[in-house]
Structures are given as C-alpha cells and as structure tokens.
C-alpha cells in the first residue's frame, strides 16, 4: 500500500492518527505518507498543522490532557507502539520551534547540549559543534565568539542556532513549526534557503502559513483544515487546485468524504 | 471637601503609612544598638557565659544557632527540592499534587509552638532522640518545609517551558532535562528561597524550646545528640528566668540574633540580584 515517489520509499507513514485534547478531538483521522525531502504543511490557524507536526515525534506526551491514537511508522516501526523508547524517537526526529528558544547558555553549549546528553565523547564535541553550525549557515558569523551567550544573537541567528542545535544530534527527520514566522523578512529568507538545503539530506517537514513560502520550498504539501487533512500531493499542483480552500474557506469539504 | 483635598489627604495618608513601615526596622535596630552598646565587645562573641549567664560571652548560643540552621538546611533541602520537582515537573495538576498543596497550606498555617509540642512528642519521646540538636533541627525542618517548597516551586516554575520542550525534542529524557537544564537555571532562586527560610528558622524559639535548646552549656555540642544553646532561646531565658541580667546584655543578644537573620536574608537578596543581573 505504500506508493513510491521518485523511486523513494516514505520515511514516515501516518495511519488513522487522531489527537484529542481532554474530550475534544483536535485532529481527526489522518493517514498520509511523508517522503524524504521537503513536505510543507499548510492550513489556516487552528487547522491542526502544529498538532499534526508534534505528533510525529511524540511531543504531545509531555502535555497533560493530550491523547494520541493511531499509528505513525518511522521506517516501518510504529513510534506509538508500547515500549517505544520515546527519547530515542525524538533524537531521530528533531523539532525546531516557531519562536527561537536557545538555552540561556553559550553558543557552543547550546549546540553541544544534545550530544553531551547522549554521551558523545568530549573530544568529538568541537567537531560536532562546528559541523552543526556550518550546516545551519551560522559558523562564519559566530566562529570567533562561540563562548558568547546565545541570547546576544539576533532573532534570525538564534533560529539558525536552534537548527544547529537540532542537527547536532544527527536527526533523520527535522520537523519545523513555522520556523520563519517570528523573523524579519531578510532573516526569514536565509532560514528558508537553509531549509531547502537541509532537505537534500533529511526528511524535512515544515509548517507554514505562508503560501508563497510553500511555493518556493516546493516539494510535497499537506493541506489541513478544521483539524483534518484536506489534501496532499506535490505542492504546486495542490496549491493550484485548492486555492480557494486554503485562504479563508469556512465550510469543510473534508467532512463530506 | 473638594476632590483635590481628598486626593491630597489620601496621598498623604498612604505616604505616611509607607514611611512608618520603613521606620519600624530602622527604629528597632537603632533602639537595640543604643541599648546594647555598653555590653558590646569581641569577648561577648567568642567566650563562654559566666556568673549564671549574667556575664561572659554568648559563644555557645551563636554556635548553637549556627548548628541548628545548618542541620535544618541539610534536613529540609533534599525533601523540599524533591517535593517541588514532583509538583512542578512531574504532576502539576494531578490529584496527588493537589493533596500535597493542601497539606503544605495547612502546614504553613500551624503556629510554631504546635510544632514544638509535636517535636517533643514525636522526635524527643516517641523516636527517642531526646532533647537534642537533631530533634530540634527536625522540628525546625517541619516549620520551614512549606516555605522552602514554595520558594523552590517558584524557582523551578520560572524556567520557561520552551527550554524544557527544546531539551525533550533533542531526545533528552525528562530526568536529564531537569538535571542539566532546569536545576542549573533554577539554582539561584533555590538558594535564595532556602536562605530566606533558614533566616526564619534561626529566629524561632517555640519549636526548639522543648526539643533541644539548652539553658546553659559550658561546652559546645559535639554530636547531633547533644543539646544546644540558641540565641533565640537564650534571649527568652535572659528576659524571663535569669534574675539580674543586665538590660544591655539582653539587647546585645537580641541584636546578635537580628543581625544574624538580616545577614542570612541579605545573602539571599544579593544572590537574587546577581542572578537577575546576569540574565539581562
């Protein structure tokens, strides 16, 4: 039942995923495949985009009152199966937040935080920090002040630092929750370029409310509305066929299906 | 009366009240200082009492209070921190957390003399610790625990949840997140809260009255099973029991106690300042 796209197998297969907050269903049954490369998640506010994203690395576990049902296969292993090592899942499936949230530590210690917790020998840390910062396109700007507090960086730099921090534990999938929405246009453009570059090696899933950004990032898209997956497919095709729904449509065609 | 007059009167009233509040600690300190002046000397701080407590120094009382505060810190910090971590990090809204909060609320409303009697009944008699440094410190621990837990809770809760989420999203366990991110960030607040709570413990008389405070010791306590003299109890004794204790001497003991508590509190304030200064 898995469809190959460009000869690639899906990295994540979501089956009948439902998320409840207390008694209320806030995301309702979603089944979709996510392939290596870029997947953008589109939809109006409150449509379930972020809820879906956070279900992909079990971030809802930490929230009291959140219940997730269904299956999410990461390379054929259900991450919601009993006995799953959740921290291990989160190491493989990283998450970058909407608002840059560096730790109140130095630039270096922010990037080294994950590897240190995972027992990386001290002698490898310099190399990992450098590699991660290079991947995030931040190395040249900070290489002479790695010991400076991270909060002295600009917003855009902080977001790239957070991306470097996420990359430092060598994830296979990177989830990003509107990673550019808190940034000014110039910084947003840099991060956007970075996302496109990362998607060459990783499976990147980006939530955005910016249709133009989705168009530029290309790849595949999932369109959410009213807590349901409305459509999925190649981004350009999806955008041209669902132009009306994405904007401000009130009715919910997904319910009819 | 016009509106302006009412306004001026109200402003005057609140200003005078605020100033009066400020005057209380100043007046207290000045009063004690002036009264104690004739009795103040270095030997007061470093020698043993003599002449049936009427003369000599108060070293055993100062040392005893320090022991009580130190042991209370050792006894109250681990369970206090553990409870706060449970309340903030593991079950902020669970039924058990609600029960614990209710218990703490009750505990914090109990008069200190009741703790003293409880300590006498349980630690001194039932558990057989006798009247000792240990029994007194345990009793003080009960007294300060609600305060320490409340401060520790506030310190832990002040660490933004975005940082916890970021740590979890990197594949760190909850325990790693607490150990390597939350606790280091909350540490200054934890220290501040502990110090303030200990200031409270240092000044209490009632809880140690029946549980470990000694009237007169010619030697310093060597183990936790020994009784101790304490500044607060010593002041009480001088004021009520010892006939012919000089007024300056009483004032000097009171001043010592006050300065000790003030010193502890200001350590807390300085730590808090430094912490906030670093954050900006």
> From CA B137, how far away is CA B208, in angstroms rounded?
8
Q: Of A51, A52, A109, nearest to A232 (Cα)?
A: A52
Residue-wise DSSP of chain B: --HHHHHHHHHHHHHHHHHHHHHHHHHHHHHHHHHHGGG--HHHHHS-EETTTTEE--HHHHHHHHHHHHHHHHHHHHHHHHHHHIIIII-SSSHHHHHHHHHHHHHHTS-HHHHHHHHIIIIIIIS---SSHHHHHHHHHHHHHHHHHHHHHHHHHTS-HHHHHHHHHTT--HHHHIIIIIHHHHHHHHHHHHHHHHHHHHH--HHHHTTTB-S--SS---STTS-B--HHHHHHHHHHT-TT--HHHHHHHHHHHHHHHHHHHHHHHHHHHHHHHHH-
**Residue B147 contacts residue B108 (beta carbons within 8 Å):** yes
More confident residue, A205 or A64: A205
Q: Is the pLDDT of residue A147 over 90?
A: yes
> Which of A103-117, A229-243, B97-111 is modeled with the greatest confidence?
A103-117
| Domain residue ranges in chain B | 3-39, 43-279
Across chain A, mean pLDDT equals: 89
The partner residue sitting opposite B172, judged by closest CB among A87, A89, A92, is A87
Residues 6 or more apart whose Cβ sits within 8 Å of residue A201:
none
Chain-chain contact of B165 with A104 (C-beta, under 8 angstroms): no
pLDDT tens digits for B49-82? 887 778 788 888 899 999 999 999 999 999 999 9
CB A223 within 8 A of CB A42: yes
**Of A174, A172, A235, residue with least CA distance to A204:** A174
How confident is the model at residue B90, as a pLDDT? 87
Q: What is the pLDDT of residue B216?
A: 83
Contact (CB<8Å) B170/A90: yes
Average pLDDT (A36-49) is 92
CB contact under 8 A, A114 and B181: no
pLDDT digits (tens, 9 = 90+) for B249-268: 889 999 999 998 888 888 87
pLDDT of B17 > 90? The answer is yes
Give the residue from B158, B162, B185, B148 showing the smallest Cα distance to A98: B162
In chain A, residues with a C-beta closer than 8 Å to the C-beta of B158 are none
Beta-ladder partners of A37: A203
Contacts 24+ apart (CB under 8 A), A65-68: A65/A21, A65/A22, A66/A19, A66/A20, A66/A21, A67/A19, A67/A20, A67/A21, A68/A17, A68/A18, A68/A19, A68/A20
CB contact under 8 A, B166 and A91: no
Confidence of residue B158 (pLDDT cuts 50, 70, 90): very high
pLDDT tens across B181-239, in order?
Answer: 999 999 888 888 888 889 889 988 899 999 988 888 878 888 888 888 888 998 998 88
ipTM: 0.89
Domains of chain A, CATH where assigned: 37-46+87-256 (3.40.50.300)
Q: Is the pLDDT of residue A255 over 80?
A: no
Cβ(B137)–Cβ(B198) below 8 Å: no
Q: How far apart are CA A168 and CA B274, in angstroms?
A: 32
Mean pLDDT lowest among A11-25, B10-24, B50-64: B50-64
Residue A58 C-alpha, separation from nearest chain B C-alpha, in angstroms: 9
Per-residue confidence band for B242, with pLDDT thresholds at 50, 70 and 90: confident
A–B CB contacts, 8 A cutoff, strictly below: 66
pLDDT of A183 > 50? The answer is yes
Report the percentage of chain A scoring pLDDT > 90.
Answer: 77
**pLDDT value at position A198?**
93
Residues of chain A whose beta carbon is less than 8 angstroms from a beta carbon of chain B are 57, 59, 62, 64, 87-92, 94-95, 97, 99, 101, 103-104, 113-114, 116-118, 162, 165-166, 168-169
Asked which of A35-44, B23-32, B43-52, B188-197 is least confident by mean pLDDT, the reply is B43-52
Q: State pLDDT tens for residues B95-130.
A: 899 999 999 999 989 999 999 999 999 999 999 998
The pLDDT value given to residue A256:
37
Give A10 to chain B, closest Cα distance, Å: 22
- Given a contact cutoff of 8 angstroms between Cβ atoms, the answer to whether A144 and A179 are in contact is no
- Confidence band of A90 (pLDDT split at 50, 70, 90): very high
**Is pLDDT of A120 > 80?**
yes
The alpha-carbon gap from A75 to the nearest alpha carbon of chain B, in Å, equals 18
Which residue among A62, A104, A166 places its CB closest to the CB of B170? Answer: A166
SS3 track for A182-217: CCCHHHHHHHHHHHHHHCCCCEEEEECCCHHHHHHH
Residue from B88, B170, B173 whose CB has the most chain A CBs within 10 Å, to mutate: B170
B1 pLDDT tier (thresholds 50, 70, 90): low
**Contacts of residue A162 in chain B, CB cutoff 8 Å?**
166
Q: List all residues 6 or more positions away from B251 whose beta carbon is below 8 Å from its beta carbon.
A: B32, B35, B36, B39
- The confidence score (pLDDT) of residue B57 equals 82
Nearest to A165 among B92, B93, B170 (CB): B170
Share of chain A above pLDDT 70, in %: 91
pLDDT of amino acid A35: 94
CATH of B43-279, one of 3.40.1350.10, 1.10.3720.10, 3.40.225.10, 3.40.50.1000: 1.10.3720.10
Separation in Å, CA of B173 to nearest CA in chain A: 6
- What was the pLDDT predicted at A251? 41
Residue that has been written with the tokens 């006939």 in this structure: B243
What is the pLDDT, as a whole number, of residue B277?
59
CA neighbor of B62 nearest in space, from B246, B229, B212: B229
Alpha carbon of A76: minimum distance to chain B alpha carbons (Å): 20
């Amino acid at each position: 039942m898995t469809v190959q796209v460009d000869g690639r197998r899906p990295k994540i297969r979501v089956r009948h995923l439902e998320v409840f907050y207390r008694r209320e269903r806030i995301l309702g049954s979603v089944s979709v495949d996510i392939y290596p490369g870029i997947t953008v998640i589109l939809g109006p506010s409150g449509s379930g985009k972020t809820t879906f994203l956070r279900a992909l690395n079990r971030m809802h576990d930490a929230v009291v009152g959140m219940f997730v049902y269904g299956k999410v296969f990461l390379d054929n292993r259900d991450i919601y199966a009993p006995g799953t090592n959740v921290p291990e899942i989160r190491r493989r499936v990283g998450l970058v937040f909407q608002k840059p949230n560096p730790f109140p530590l130095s630039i270096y210690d922010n990037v080294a935080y994950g590897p240190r917790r995972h027992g990386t020998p001290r002698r490898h840390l310099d190399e990992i920090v450098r590699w991660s910062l290079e991947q995030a396109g931040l190395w040249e700007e900070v290489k002479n002040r790695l010991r400076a507090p991270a909060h002295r960086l600009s917003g855009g730099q902080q977001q790239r630092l957070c991306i470097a921090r996420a990359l430092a534990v060598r994830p296979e999938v990177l989830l990003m929750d509107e990673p550019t929405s808190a940034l000014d246009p110039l910084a947003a453009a840099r991060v956007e370029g970075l996302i496109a570059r990362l998607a060459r090696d990783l499976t990147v899933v980006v939530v955005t409310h910016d249709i133009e950004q989705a168009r530029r990032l290309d790849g595949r898209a999932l369109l959410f509305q009213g807590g349901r997956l409305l459509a999925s497919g190649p981004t350009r095709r999806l955008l041209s066929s669902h132009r009306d729904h994405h904007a401000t449509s009130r009715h919910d065609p997904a319910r009819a299906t | 009366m016009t509106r302006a007059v009412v306004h001026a009167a109200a402003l005057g009233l609140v200003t005078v009240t605020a100033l009066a509040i400020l005057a209380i600690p100043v007046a207290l300190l000045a009063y004690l200082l002036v009264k104690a002046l004739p009795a103040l000397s270095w030997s007061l701080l470093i020698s043993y009492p003599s002449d049936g407590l009427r003369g000599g120094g108060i070293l055993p009382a100062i040392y005893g209070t320090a022991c009580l505060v130190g042991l209370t810190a050792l006894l109250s910090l681990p369970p206090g921190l553990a409870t706060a971590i449970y309340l903030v990090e593991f079950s902020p809204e669970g039924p058990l957390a609600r029960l614990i909060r209710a218990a703490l609320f009750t505990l914090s409303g109990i008069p200190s003399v009741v703790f003293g009697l409880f300590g006498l009944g349980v630690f001194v008699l039932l558990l057989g610790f006798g009247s000792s440094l240990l029994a007194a410190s345990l009793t003080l621990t009960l007294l300060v625990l609600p305060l320490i837990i409340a401060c520790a809770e506030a310190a832990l809760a002040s660490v933004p949840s975005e940082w916890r989420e970021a740590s979890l999203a990197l594949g760190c366990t909850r325990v790693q997140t607490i150990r390597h991110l939350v606790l280091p960030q909350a540490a200054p607040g934890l220290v501040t809260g502990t110090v303030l709570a200990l200031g409270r413990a240092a000044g209490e008389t009632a809880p140690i009255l029946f549980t470990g405070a000694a009237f007169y010791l010619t030697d310093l306590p060597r183990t936790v099973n020994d009784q101790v003299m304490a500044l607060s109890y010593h002041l009480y004794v001088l004021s009520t029991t010892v006939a012919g204790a000089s007024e300056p001497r009483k004032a000097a003991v009171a001043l010592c106690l006050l300065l000790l508590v003030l010193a502890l509190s200001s350590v807390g304030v300085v730590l808090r300042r430094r912490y906030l200064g670093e954050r900006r």
